[in-house]
Each structure stands twice: as structure tokens, then as C-alpha cells.
Amino acid sequence: MAGETEIRELTVELGERSYPIRIGTGLLERAGSLFEECGFPKKSPILLVADESVVGLYAGKLERSLKDAGYSVATAVVPSGEQSKSLAQFNDLITEALEAGLDRRSTVVALGGGVVGDLAGFVAAAYMRGVRFVQVPTTILAHDSSVGGKVAVNHKLAKNIIGAFHQPEFVLYDLNTLKSLPPREIRSGFAEVVKHGLIWDAEFTSWCDRNSDKLLALDDEALGHALYEGCRVKSIVVSRDERENDLRAILNLGHTIGHALEAVGSYNQLLHGEAISIGMVGAARLAAKFGYGEELASETERLLRKFELPVRIPAGYDTDAIMSAMQHDKKFTEGAMVFVVPKRIGEVEIRGDVQAAWVRDIVEQLKGETG
Amino acid sequence: MAGETEIRELTVELGERSYPIRIGTGLLERAGSLFEECGFPKKSPILLVADESVVGLYAGKLERSLKDAGYSVATAVVPSGEQSKSLAQFNDLITEALEAGLDRRSTVVALGGGVVGDLAGFVAAAYMRGVRFVQVPTTILAHDSSVGGKVAVNHKLAKNIIGAFHQPEFVLYDLNTLKSLPPREIRSGFAEVVKHGLIWDAEFTSWCDRNSDKLLALDDEALGHALYEGCRVKSIVVSRDERENDLRAILNLGHTIGHALEAVGSYNQLLHGEAISIGMVGAARLAAKFGYGEELASETERLLRKFELPVRIPAGYDTDAIMSAMQHDKKFTEGAMVFVVPKRIGEVEIRGDVQAAWVRDIVEQLKGETG
């Protein structure tokens, strides 16, 4: 068993739906006792939904821990990739849940990245109108998606359009599971870490800048700190605005353009972090339109490049297709074009007066310039 | 325009999710002004989901009222029948919502019976993680399903297994829309009316007994009273237990056997009210096992027969298939067999100690006896 480092813990404050996030090493092995402590009934089967890329590595360990504690566990494996966030895959998991005999006191556990978390979370939200949910993220990116209770699947016309707010009972973040990530996934994950700095915390942004090498090398201490800080920013924002009435929208920095790029690439060309990396550069370029410093765009770009993230739209992406995908994005309320725009490092604002022509220009720029 | 009778109004008390139910004639024509009064924004399109059996009769009237008030309305038509409560139909409606440009401030309106209410309600619950919902029930049965916020679609292995709790903003019950119901639907609807008496209110049960002729003839005054009382019982129960932790389960009187019969009949043989009518007779027969009066079963049967409802399981229904369908029913917590059992007229209790063998015997009896 790997050596154990400090366990960091923070609470997402949501009244009676508050829940803890635990970050550290060796947590998979303790899952069973945690389920017991939380009073999950042993008669009610657990459905473990695992991403196929991690099932061989970690599902056995997690299952064993739960079974040793006296739980019955059915494991469902879902293919890696955004394509699994479909109603068809959702329906298959409902079938598995029924066949495993899950009842209203059962728990659905997500083992994997954001795709599995969103998908299994929507299963937990909708199965029998809602059962318990536990997140066991195995990617860096999932430090974002595993906090805040947003769960969803995609529709062919728009991402995350079918979903719910369904908070987990807790989040178990075992740093050991991150060691198996492919380098491209690691870099993609840091896009959301950087985002949390950019929207809320200039000091943390600067710390990321100074520690990019350690982070890319997955140094346990640096990684634990970065994930803790990322989750902390996310949880503060979510605590203040659970259902995205206002503040929570700042978490969408880079996501308006980013989601459109993912859609145009059929969700299989750009990773989520890569898409929002490009989107954050686009949003930073909008800042100048509102009189904020022009250096914001270059600073944002420099930081993202340190994490070896893309900052230009790949060749062959059609501008009209990108603009059209944005029209279906749910961040447009009442047809107005809404964007999260940086004011300075560590602070953003939500602007409802962004002209489509500006966005089109920036999309063209980001396509034309060589990255 | 038809003559207008008294408008009855009651409130479902759910804190900040409280909402009114209005029952009367001529309400369709006033929908637009109601939307305005409630502050629904005019820039956000409305999706009207209408059952094909009523679209020609009432959708135009409702649409006109909304459009006259300045709203844009897209109408989606869904085929009549339980088969429409599918993920496929749900997905089609999400497509319609996207194509009509619905945003987070939009409203989904259900015009039809319980099928459309459950289906459109789940669309409202899941679209962009939840938008406004308004129920315009056009069946008697829907007095039950339109109150309480339970929305769902079916899975091939179990009914209502995929859903949410999503309360409407209000319910508009226009008695004029009930005049077009086929006689079989009318009778089926009264099964839930009778149920609300049986579980909660001996006096109302006796009133139903005395007024069955008027009700079957759709007398406006009698109908208004019956729907008001039915909604009142339902809303009291729901107010005390929104998410079915305990009390709310009493609403399932007759539903455990009823749902199984619907499933075995592939949801196209027995109407919901017919199935629970048989189920209520089954539940009443269980009462004797717990020492409650044997006359409960005969009284229940007599009352349901007055409404010309079936009280026997149709020939050809397989006992094993019925028992197996009950195992998947979500009212079985942790594998125990749970039933709502009448104690006397107007009072029931939830029993967790019902033996499968008793249920099997009763199913056999209800098949064997001539109705």
C-alpha cells in the first residue's frame, strides 16, 4: 500500500445537504468504514459505476473495502469519454440498478472522472426519484465536477442539458488514483484548477504559476494543496448559490466558448479542460472590450501554456458551427448573450451585454493565430 | 363559452414551494393572465406538451390565451397512453424544448392526463436542471397525479422508476375539459377519488357512495366538490411528507398490486384507475390478516362496483409475473414486503410485515373468482 500523506478535509456548506470532501492517499481502502460511519444500511445494495479506464485498477479495491464492511455491491462499467453521458447509457445503468435490487436507501457510487460522476449522479438523482450518491473522483478535472451537485447527461444538440442538482453524501479523493492518469488528462485537469484561481483567488493563481512543475509531476503535497484550494473555491461559490441563480455562474469562466468547441468536435476531439483553456483565453480577450487590462489575455495565456494547455482553436473548426452551438448553451438567458469576463486575476464578473459580433471576432482570431 | 361555476381554490402547503390549485369552469381562457400575475417572463418561450386526444379540443384555446398575453408558445403533441412515459419520448421533448429556444426562465405546461403530467413534469425537472412547470389536467385521474410533484417516466422493468420531485407553480383544473372524456376514463378517474376517501376521510367516502350517479354523469357541482376533496386529501398528505419518507406512502393504497397488473399488461390493457381498483380490493383482503374487519373487503368492493370499476384480475394474467413485477416495485424497501393496509374506512396503515405468500393467495383468489 502506498505511503499515506496528510488527509485534508473541507465541508461544502449547504445546510442539511452539507457534505465533506476528503483528500489524501489510501482512502479507497477506508471506504467501507466510512459508509458504516455514515449509517448507510447494509441491506440496501450499492451500485458502483466505474469508468472502464480505472475499473481494473481501483474498482476491486473499493469493492473489497465495501464488501468487507458487509455491503453488497454491483459494479457497472461504462466506456470512457463524453459519449457515455447519454440517455442510452443512463437507461442501461437504471437497468443495472433494478437488476441489482437497489432500493430507496441504496447508494450509487461514481468511480472515475467527471463523465462518470455526472452520469452516475444523474442516475442517483432520478432512480426512484433520488437515492444516495457518493463521488470517488479519479481525475484532477473531477475536483471541479465532484463538488456542487450538478449532474447531467448530454443531448445531441447541447451538453449537460438533461440533469439535476443532486448533492453527494461525501466525496472521497484518493490521490493514489491520480497516478495512473495519462499526461494529457493531467494537463486538462489543471485547467479547472487554474480557473478556480482566476475567478476567485489571485494568491492561489500565483501559487499555481510557481508550482506548475511540481503539479505536472503529481507531487503529493502540491497536488493535495491544489485540489484542496480548487475544491475550496468551488465549495464557497456553491454554498452561496446552490442552484445557479447568480454567483455560481462565475464558475463558467471559459465554458461558453469551451462547451461550443466540445460540441463542434463531437465531444471526442478536445478534452473538457483543453476546451475551457481556449475558452478562458477567449473570455480574457473580451475583458478589453469593457476597459479591463489588455494584459489579462496575455497573462491568462502564459499561465495556461505553463500547464501545456491549448490556447488556440484547432484548425478546421467552423465559426458558424461554434456560434450556433453557443446559442443552445443554457447560459444564454432570454436570448441575451451572457459571458463570464475577467476584471483582473482573481476576479470576474457576469456580463449580459456581450455582443455576438465581438465573440465571433475572437473566435476568428483564436482560429487564425498560430498557437 | 360555457357557463361558469364557482371556482374552488386550495393551496398545497410546501413552504417556499407552496402552490395553488384552481378548480372551476372557463379557466383555460384565463391562463394568460394567470401567467402574467405570477410574473412569468414574456421573453422566455413556453413549451406546451399536449396529449394527442385533447390537443384538438383545448390546446388552441390555451395557446390563444397565452399568446394574447404576449407569450410565445411551442406545442408538442404526445401520443395518448402510458407508452408515452418513455425515455425516448422524454428525449424528443427535450429536442422540442431546445428547438423552441426554452431557457432557464421558461415554463413547461402539461395539458392532458397523468401521462402527460408525469412526462412533461420530468422534462421540466430535468431540462437545464429544472424549469417552471404548470399542470392543466384534463382527466379526473389527474387530480391525483397533478398534486404532489411526483414526476417520472417508466423503464421496461418498472413503472415510474426514473423521475424527480418537481412541484408545479400552479394547477389549473378546468372542469369543461372533463366533458370530453370517454366513459371508461371517467370511471378509471374515480378510482383515485375513492382512494382519497378510503385512506383519509370516511365522511367523504360516504359522500362518494351517495353521489356516484351524479359523479358518473359529470354533474359540475358534484365533480367540483369531489375533485376539491380529492386534491385536499392529497395535498394534506403531501404537505406533511413531500419526499415520501413515511406518511406519503399511504397514497399507494392499491398501487402495489395495481402497478404490477399494469406492468404485466404491458401498460396497455388496464387503465391506471382500473388496476388500482383491483389493487384496493387486494389490500382490503389483507386487512383480515391483521385482525381488521372482514367487511372492509366487501365494502371496498361494493363501493368500487358502484363506479363500475373492475374488482377482479382479468383472465390470463400470470401469478408469477405479477409477483415478480412487485419485487421491482419501489415500495419494497430493503427487500421487505411493504403494503398499505386499510384498518377501517377512512384510515390505513403501512405494514412492513406482509408475507409474500398472503399476497400470492390473494392474487390467486382475485384471478379465480368471477367478478
ipTM, two decimals:
0.87
Q: Above 70 in pLDDT, residue A92?
A: yes
pLDDT score for B85: 96
**B212-245 burial string, b = 16+ CB within 10 Å, else e?**
beebbeeebebbbbbbbbbbbbbbbbbbeebebe
What is the distance in angstroms between the Cα of B27 and the nearest Cα belonging to chain A?
28
Q: Above 90 in pLDDT, residue B193?
A: yes
Chain B interface with A: residues with Cβ < 8 Å: 41, 43-44, 87, 90-91, 94-95, 98-99, 101, 103-105, 125-130, 150, 152, 155-158, 161-165, 243, 328, 330, 332-335
Q: What are phi and psi of A238, to 5 degrees?
A: -65, -40
Closest CA to A270 of A81, A8, A19: A81
pLDDT tens-place string over residues B328-352: 654 554 446 889 999 999 999 999 8
B89 CB neighbours in chain A (<8 A) are none
Q: For A34-42, which contacts have Cβ atoms below 8 Å and span 24 or more sequence positions? A: A34/A170, A34/A172, A35/A66, A35/A69, A35/A71, A35/A107, A35/A134, A36/A69, A36/A70, A38/A169, A38/A170, A40/A71, A40/A105, A40/A107, A40/A132, A40/A169, A41/A105, A41/B334, A42/A69, A42/A70, A42/A71
pLDDT score for A6: 82
Question: What mean pLDDT is predicted for residues A74-92?
Answer: 95
pLDDT tens-place string over residues B48-84: 999 999 999 999 999 999 999 999 999 999 999 889 9
Q: Are B98 and B74 in contact (CB under 8 A)?
A: no
pLDDT score for B1: 41
Of A256-260, A324-328, B119-123, B236-240, give the range with the top mean pLDDT: B119-123
Question: What mean pLDDT is predicted for residues B144-173?
Answer: 93
Residues making up the annotated binding site of A for Zn(2+) are 192, 255, 272
Lowest mean pLDDT among A317-326, B55-64, B87-96: A317-326
pLDDT tens-place string over residues B102-130: 999 999 999 999 999 999 999 999 999 99
- Is A176 catalytic? The answer is no
What is the distance in angstroms between the Cα of B245 and the nearest Cα belonging to chain A?
10
pLDDT score for A329: 55
Question: What mean pLDDT is predicted for residues A246-273?
Answer: 92
pLDDT band at B283 (very low <50, low <70, confident <90, very high): very high
Mean of per-residue pLDDT scores for chain A? 92
Question: How far from chain centre, in Å, is Cα B128?
Answer: 25
The full set of domain ranges for chain A reads: 8-180, 183-368
Does the domain at A183-368 match CATH 1.20.1090.10? Answer given as yes
pLDDT band at A334 (very low <50, low <70, confident <90, very high): very low
Q: Which fold has domain B8-180?
A: Rossmann fold (3.40.50)
Lowest mean pLDDT among A51-55, A149-153, B144-148: B144-148
Q: Above 50 in pLDDT, residue B2?
A: no
Handedness of CA B12, B52, B265, B294 (dihedral sign): positive
B interface test, pick of A43, A44, A162 with most B CB neighbours within 10 Å: A162
Percent of the residues in chain B that have a pLDDT greater than 90, as a whole number: 83
pLDDT score for B67: 98
Looking at per-residue confidence, does B263 or A62 come out higher?
A62
Q: Are B131 and B158 in contact (CB under 8 A)?
A: no
pLDDT score for A1: 41
pLDDT score for A336: 60
pLDDT score for A370: 66
Q: Are B269 and B314 in contact (CB under 8 A)?
A: yes
Q: If you search the block for the grid coordinates 432520478, which residue do you land on? A: A126
Chain A interface with B: residues with Cβ < 8 Å: 41, 43-44, 87, 90-91, 94-95, 98-99, 101, 103-105, 125-130, 150, 152, 155-158, 161-165, 243-244, 328, 330, 332-335
pLDDT score for B328: 64
Q: Above 50 in pLDDT, residue A333?
A: no
Residues making up the annotated binding site of A are 80-85, 114-118, 138-139, 150, 159, 192, 255, 272
Looking at per-residue confidence, does B17 or A46 come out higher?
A46
pLDDT tens-place string over residues A194-241: 999 999 999 999 999 999 999 999 999 999 999 999 999 999 999 998
What is the distance in angstroms between the Cα of B126 and the nearest Cα belonging to chain A?
5
Q: Which among A234, A242, A285, A299 is annotated as catalytic?
A: A234
